[in-house]
Structure 1
Amino acid sequence: MSAALITAIVLPALVGAALATGGRFAERAAVTVSLATAAIMAIAATIGAVTRAEVTGGVPRLLTDSGPDFRVDALAAVVLPTVVWIGFLVLVFATADRTRPAARFHGLMLIFLAAVVVTVTATGLPFLLAAWEVMGATSYALIGFRWQDRARVAGGFTAFTVTRAGDLGMYLAAGAVVAGGGSWSLTALQSLPGPWVHVAAAGLLAAGFGKAAQLPFSFWISRAMEGPSAVSALLHSAAMVAMGGYLLLRVDPLLGGTGWAGPTAAWVGAATAIVLGIVALAQRDLKQVLAASTASQLGFVVLAAGVGSVSGGAAQLVAHAATKALLFLTAGAWLTATGTKQFTGLRGVAARWPAVGVLATVGAMSLAGLPPLSLWYAKDVVLAAALEEQPWLYTAGLAGAALAAAYSARIIALLWRRAGTPEASWDDEEHGTRQVPRLAIVPMVVLTAAAAGLALLGTPLLHPLLAPLSGPAVSWPELAASAAIAVIVILLTLWRTPIIRIGAHWFGLERAAVTVVATPTLRLAAVLARLDDRFGTAVDLSGRALGQAARAVRALDERGPAAATGWVGSGVAVLGRLARRPQTGQVHHYYIGATVTVAVAAVLLLVVR
């Protein structure tokens, strides 16, 4: 049913634009209209996923191939419902959390969701590029939503510029298609001729790494935590960050066909899982832990794309989306209630709000990879594919999984250990509302069920959903081994929580980017600006000189040759009058003239000699 897919794209885009620009006139009805739109969108997207909807004829055929412009294939059928339903649940939480102004917030969120749906279902580069741009622009507006705070706007700007640097790769890939005369279809990029297939692969790798916060782009996600809690829960669980990994899963044939792009993606993903796992262990801000763990967990999706396990990558992406959305919402609820996201102010917070504490604990256990929760199975599908590809890659993945168990156990310890923190700190009216709204718990319960139950994707019950996707099956010994590692690491961490200092500042990634990229770029821009100014000055001076020359020529042209002839005639007349003066007819005048002439001649002769 193409109508369902069109509804899932067009309706939120139009309603979102109306709300975002409606100002105070739209404020009163914004929440009701937004939630109704998101619900219709989620239902329509689910229908589109079940029916494998297609939409054809959106743009002129000269820009696309003869196939559909939007299509729900096996991969999109798994990811699309996940994104839109999490989006709906996040908007419910934002309503309970009273994110204001509601019209602008809900409008931007709906536009963002529409762009994500296009990203998931687009079959060619033109629509994908457009959606990619809208995602980037709205993410900047959402992260810096509270624009009165300079730090928040700066965080949004950092996220925007860093991801934009990676986004240039998308244009590089589009240029390779134009230069190589290939097809715009994503499924045909591996057929590009000659070197252009490598250019396209490099460009899409950069775009995927940038959006998925993989090394060396990872630091932007730390700055993105300045946004509202609902924004973090959507953008950094199921939407923008996930779309970087999703893009690489989508172009898996291209990565595998180059011979180098697949291994590059695999090792970057594994390295990110390890490095950002260490960063997560070193943080003392709950949202920063979740941010670093997001990049680390998306590393497994990128690893899956590199080793050709599309099914494992899809399962990891979906399970992580539910788990991380849950954890971000619980962190947001506590931030509103206590007024802090620092560990020192959150220790033992689960005892104060036990319902939220239990839900967050389930999310943390899923993040740790404990059986039978969703990320346990999904991660092992990826690791099984890595083992077939290269044993060292499998070892690196296991190390990343062990780190995930460690930072998840640290979250659990934070939630339940009192550690002498006085309960009065939670009851200070200046630092929080001291309550978690009941409506805010509803989406958390739904996400908890998903975080616990999405492992069913790998069982015979729901396996047909992932069957069309590529990737080897995971064995029970591998599942048991990873579960044992997770349990041992969690017990050790709970027994004695390690104090990790290395990586507390994200290994200086932002400082390195400023030193290596930003500063030289700005200096080069300053030099070019000065050269441009000088060139402009030279052009201005040459313009003035040409103007003066033109005026002189015009004056000469206006006066004409007759004027020049008149000047010559006047000069000759003057000389004639001077020549007549010596002709007086008196002899003594002639003698004087002759004497002067002889004297001058004598002097000249002496000088010449």
Structure 2
Amino acid sequence: MNASLWLLPALPAGAGGLLLLLRRAGAPVAIAVATLTLALAVHAAVTRPVVNARLFFPGGLPDGTGAGLAVDGLSAVMVVTVAAAGLAVLVFAAGETRGARFHGLMLIFVAAMLVTVTAQDLVLLLMGWEVMGAMSYALIGYQWRDPARVRSGALAFLTTRTGDLGLYVAAGAAMAGGSLALRELPALAWRDLAAAGIVVAALGKSAQLPFSFWLSRAMAGPSPVSALLHSATMVAAGAYLLLRVQPLLAATGWAASVVVWAGALTALTLGAVAVAQRDLKQLLAASTCAQIGFMVAAAGVPAVAGGVAQLVAHAAVKSLLFLAAGVWLAVLGTEDLVGLGGAGRRDRLVGVAFGVGAVALAGVPPLSLWVTKDTILAAVRTPGLYAVLVVAGLIAAAYSARALAAVWRAGPGREGVREVTGWERAPLPVLALVAAGAGAVALPGVFQAWGRLVGEPRAVAPAWGELAMSGGAAVAVAAVTVVATAAARPRRVIGFLAGWLYLERAAVGLVVRPVLALAGALARFDDRVLDAAVNGVPRLGLALARVVRAPFETGLDGVVRAVAAATARLGALARRPQTGQVHRYFAQAAVVLTVLAVALVLLR
């Protein structure tokens, strides 16, 4: 039973690594591996395997009980959703003839997300979390010869990395508290610090305020990357983590309130940002921030069952919309809303599929996000929060209708660069069916069973009256948006919204430039002060050595020279008797003998 859980992330990770090395047969291998991964995910969702952390860390973690990889009700839903989204996106990418490197990176990305959603402790969670972030950088900047795309990938990576530091803080607090298991975090002494770190990391990964701007830059990546990021993987990972640790948020007394208002305000403000966009992918990106905001708010309400239902439905909807947008970008060479006029009429299958996704995103009955959104609203008890989320839901109808009207209205009929391939069409009908029907899990009478599946047995379904009012309001707002002319707004406000609230400018001005200025000042201090001090130490030592050596060196040199001179004189004297004349040697011998005789006489 455990073998399937081992293999679930190992299969796409291993195949992805081989594709990176071999650079051959990218699409066929990737689709085959993704299909097997989906089958393994379904098997794991049924059998619920568990792998204890002691198998990964024989030396032991602090209280490893309950840590490791496991598939419970919540992760069972996620592994199937992640694997299905990955397969759909890879099938679509086969029509764009991407290289093996692209497919390898996508498979490793999916494997990292599978580790993230099945991890039961912070160490394994961090492993999947980090690999996922690294792969997102590589995929957003996949076209590395374009400096602008590489810069966008770097900005997205650094922004999410800034938030990811919170997860390291949480892991440190958990280790200090004695357990890294996620389910044991509410009982730790350091739970508030752990909760703070997790909240920061989750908001950063899910592009919630104030981190939302990185998702705008992520649109520089290929359309399949955008679809995968926005569906059930990276951007949803933060919301999933908050739903997973909801007991920790509730135990702190403050984290739940922070999370619920962060999600609600993101849903409201980024919805307004989406309405102001003139680029289809930017509109969809801002709408992702807004829709993820509902899931984040669900973690704080709490409405775990509703948040998971919203996540699954949104995964299908956003995969569908981004893949359709990718078709038009490849075929028509534009993603501008004005230039896309008539795009929906050009290929009816793509146009109808996009229409289903847009209507579902608007919250129009009977499609999925209509009812999943209301399962979150049904759990809200604060009037102000309820009002913010209701307005955010109505704004969703406006930006969805705006996108739908843009692609279906009569347009100039741009000449296409190429035709839509069968691979690109293949996943769209399936995703459209899921996007239309996924909300059935949240209908009254079914929602309680769904709640028991994901671990919230007391989940409350919205009443039919609430659903009727919500659906009617969404239809009205969508209809007004479709038929209305562009409303006159102050240009500065439009620029503010179209520029994603100038969040990137604020981050650059308040964080990046001060940090770079501080780094420059420290570098100058290092070069001018520390280097001077370090270089001064040997110079001082040499100077002292010169001063100290003078008297000693002079005396020692004099002794050495005197010994050498005496030796030289002795040598000169010793050479004088060496004349080579025999009679001189006899004379010298006679003198020596005479001296010896005299000495003997005197000594006696």
For the aligned pair, the TM-score class normalised by the smaller chain equals 0.7 to 0.9
Unaligned runs of 5+ in 1: 568-609
Query: For the Cα contact (< 8 Å) 1:348–1:417, is it kept in 2?
Result: yes
Cα shift readout 1:321-357 (whole Å, capped 9, x = no counterpart): 1100000000001111100000121012111111111
Quick check: 1:410–1:497 contact (8 Å CA) kept in 2?
Answer: no
Alignment of structure 1 residues 72-87 onto 2, 5 Å: 72-87=71-86
1:60 aligns with 2:48: no
- Provide the rounded CA distance (Å) in 1 between the counterparts of 2:465 and 2:262: 27
| Candidates 375, 385, 405, aligned match of 1:413 | 405
Offset at residue 146 of structure 1 (A):
0.2
Q: Which residue of 1 aligns with 2:412?
A: 422
1:182 aligns with 2:178: yes
Larger CA deviation: 32-41 vs 462-471: 462-471
Match in the other structure for 1:579: none
Counterpart of 1:392 in structure 2 is: 384
Kindly report which structure 2 residues correspond to 1:96-175, keeping only aligned pairs within 5 A, or say none: 96-99=95-98, 102-175=99-172
**1:343 partner SS:** coil
Q: Is the 8 A contact 1:143 1:152 kept in 2?
A: yes
CA distance, structure 2, for counterparts of residue 190 and residue 525 of structure 1: 38
* Structure 2 CA distance for aligned equivalents of residues 191 and 561 of structure 1: 77
Across the aligned residues of Structure 1 and Structure 2, the Cα RMSD in angstroms comes to 2.1
CA distance in 2, matches of 1:412, 1:214: 25
Amino acid at match of 2:170: A
What letter corresponds to residue 136 of structure 2 in structure 1? Answer: S
Please, which of 346, 357, 369 is the counterpart of residue 351 of structure 2? 357
Give the unaligned 5+ runs of structure 2. 563-604
Q: Which amino acid aligns with 2:86?
A: G
Measured in 2, the distance between the counterparts of 1:38 and 1:411 equals 31
For residues 56 and 155 of structure 2, the distance between their equivalents in structure 1, rounded to whole angstroms, comes to 34
Match of 1:90 in 2: 89
Matches within 5 A, 1:83-482: 83-99=82-98, 102-179=99-176, 181-193=177-189, 196-386=190-380, 388=381, 390-418=382-410, 421-423=411-413, 425-427=414-416, 432-433=417-418, 435-459=419-443, 460=445, 464-468=449-453, 469-470=455-456, 471-482=459-470
The 1:556/1:55 distance shift into structure 2, 3 A limit, reads: farther
Classify 1:178/1:492 alpha carbon distance in 2 versus 1 (closer, same or farther; 3 Å): same
Residue 546 in structure 1 maps to residue 541 in structure 2: yes
Which of these residues, 35, 41, 46, is aligned with residue 50 of structure 1? 46
User: CA shift at 1:44, angstroms?
Assistant: 0.6
Q: Structure 2 vs 1, CA of residues 548 and 49 (structure 1 numbering), >3 Å: closer, same or farther?
A: farther
- Check the 8 A contact 1:74/1:466 in 2, yes or no: no
1:346 is paired with a residue whose SS is coil
Given that residues 182 and 189 in structure 1 are in contact (C-alpha distance below 8 angstroms), is that contact kept between their aligned partners in structure 2?
no
Match of 1:581 in 2: none
Query: Secondary structure of the equivalent of 1:503?
Result: helix
**Contact in 2 for aligned 1:182/1:191 (Cα 8 Å):** no
Residue of structure 2 aligned with 1:41, choices 22, 33, 37: 37
- From 501, 505, 509, the equivalent of 1:511 is 505
What is the alpha-carbon distance in structure 2 between the residues aligned to residue 109 and residue 544 of structure 1?
57
Q: Distance in 2 between matches of 1:8 and 1:185?
A: 21
Structure 2 CA distance for aligned equivalents of residues 353 and 518 of structure 1: 45
Quote the Cα distance in structure 1 between the aligned partners of 2:270 and 2:59: 44
Structure 1 residues 274-315: Cα deviation after superposition (integer angstroms, max 9, x where no partner): 100000000010000000000000000000011111111101
Question: 2:113, 2:509 → 1: CA distance?
Answer: 33
Against the structure 1 CA distance between its residues 308 and 553, is the aligned structure 2 distance closer, same or farther, given a 3 Å change threshold? farther
Q: In 2, distance between residues paired with 1:458 and 1:371?
A: 13
Q: Which residue of 1 aligns with 2:571?
A: none
Q: Give how far 1:537 is off.
A: 2.5
Number of residue equivalences: 548
Distance 1:378 1:325 in 2: 17
Q: Distance in 2 between matches of 1:550 and 1:212?
A: 63
| 2:14 alignment partner in structure 1 | 14
* Cα distance change of structure 1 residues 536 and 62 upon mapping to structure 2, 3 Å threshold: farther
Query: 1:552 and 1:198, CA in 2 relative to 1: closer, same or farther beyond 3 A?
Result: same
Alpha-carbon contact 2:266-2:293 (below 8 Å) kept:
yes
SS in 2 for 1:345: coil
- Report the TM-score, using the length of structure 2 for normalisation: 0.87
The one-letter amino acid paired with 2:106 is M
- How far the C-alpha of 1:426 sits from its partner, in A, is 2.6
1:515-560 deviation line (CA, Å, top 9, x unaligned) = 1111111111111111222212211221232244356657777778
User: CA shift at 1:237, angstroms?
Assistant: 1.5
Regions of 4+ moved over 6 Å: 554-564
Post-superposition Cα deviations, 1:167-195, rounded to whole Å, max 9, x if no partner, equal 1111111121233x3310111111121xx
Q: For residue 123 of structure 1, give the secondary structure of its aligned residue in structure 2.
A: coil
- Contact 1:54/1:68, CA 8 A, preserved across alignment: no
Tell me the secondary structure at the aligned position of residue 385 of structure 1: coil
Aligned residue in 2 for 1:492: 480
Task: State how far apart, in whole Å, the 2-side matches of 1:60 and 1:553 are.
Answer: 60
